[in-house]
A and B are shown apart, each in its own frame.
Chain A
Amino acid sequence: MTYPDPDDPAYPARPSVRPFLQSGPQSAGGYRPAPRDEQPPATDPTATLRPFVITSGRTDGADPDIGMETQVTVNPAATPVRLSPEMRAIVGLCVEPVSVAEISARLRLHLGVTRILVGDLRAAGQLDVHVLDNETPDPETIMRVIRGLRAIT
């Protein structure tokens, strides 16, 4: 593939090349993927959002297993307990399998708050959180997605 000469005046309005491309490991080349086993950096306490009142002030400690797409269902064997309104609403949504992101969106709960509350409800035995074992789906699963996507019009 040939590219136009960058100094050629015939191409005056070309987009500039991606700036951090040649940057070394120590340069300020944007955000880097966090190492897997490292905790995310602690957030500035003054920047925490008000919704965290309903998590008793906790802004982290959410189970890293609980992703946005993680499916949650009611634990049918759960013993009835008194729950906060937010938790009651979450349990009410989980009669059918539902993702954490959907819970957050439908209840207008902050995503971080939702993850903490779902984790609490799981620990309390009220919810089943369906954690996937292998992080990356296998080729067979991807093939099923491809077939399913091809089928839509």
Chain B
Amino acid sequence: MDYEQSPNRAYGGAAVGSGGRQKKAPVPVKIIVAGGFGVGKTTTVGAISEISPLTTEAEMTSASVGIDNPGQASMKTTTTIAMDFGVLTIDQTLKLYIFGTPGQSRFAFMWDDLIKGALGALVVVDTNRIDDCYPAVDYFERAGLPFVVGVNTFNGQMQYSLDEVRWALAVREDVPVLAYDARFRASVRDALLVVLDQALDKAIRQKAT
């Protein structure tokens, strides 16, 4: 199918088509929050978003029904094959979107679309089911997307130390591994700021080359 190509696709959202005077659309930027079921992705998104998290359904086959394992301690009984996302308006011309995406490899087909233009990712880890996040870590490493490993300390308790989590994930030394609490806005904000620091480093490196 043919789509008209805009003659001036300037960064900043030049309107495509023949629109005359028009309210300027904000520039969207996005951060990805990835992790297994029940690790606190939606809580993370909801803590920082200015709207209650919205849900959009994406492609899914029925093959995974019955596979998802929210763990024994979790009370989560339903699994939605969907992406939760939130919005944070930075200013009138800049909007931050936070997309929560399942971390299992069978959802990975969505990630190619998702990481396009993304600033970075926060990989949420539950130390009870640490292997849930391996596919996401593998993927972000290969894609060269800046990411941060965030251990969600559900009740302020962690079964393993951050060093042990780092050992298990075997991520590069420059990938931050941090603990945060998905229920608290300030904690999520700080975790996202670490992601943004990584994104900034990469953007500056890219600009220098």
A binding-site residues for B, Cβ under 8 Å: 1, 3-4, 14-21, 29-34, 40, 43-44, 47, 49, 61, 63, 65, 67-73, 75-77, 96-97, 99, 101-102, 104-106, 110-112, 114, 119, 122-123, 125, 127-139, 141-146, 148-150, 152-153
Contact = CB atoms under 8 A, between A and B. Distances in A.
Contacts of A65: 3
B134 A148 contact: no
B117 A119 contact: no
B4 A123 contact: yes
A40 B17 contact: no
B28 interface: yes
Interface residues of B, number: 89
A137 B117 contact: yes
A73 B24 CA distance: 9
B57 A132 contact: no
A134 to B, nearest CB: 5
Q: With a 10 A CB-CB cut-off, give which of A30, A47, A102 has the most chain B CB atoms.
A: A30
Given A29-B138, A96-B23, A111-B58, A17 B170 contact: yes
Interface stretch (B35-43, B65-73, B201-209): B201-209
A40 B108 CA distance: 12
Contact of B117 (A15, A18, A63, A136): A136
Contacts of B168: 14-18
Contacts of B115: 33
Contacts of B59: 43, 49, 110-112
10 contacts: A3-B163, A20-B138, A33-B112, A68-B113, A111-B59, A114-B56, A132-B9, A136-B117, A137-B27, A153-B186
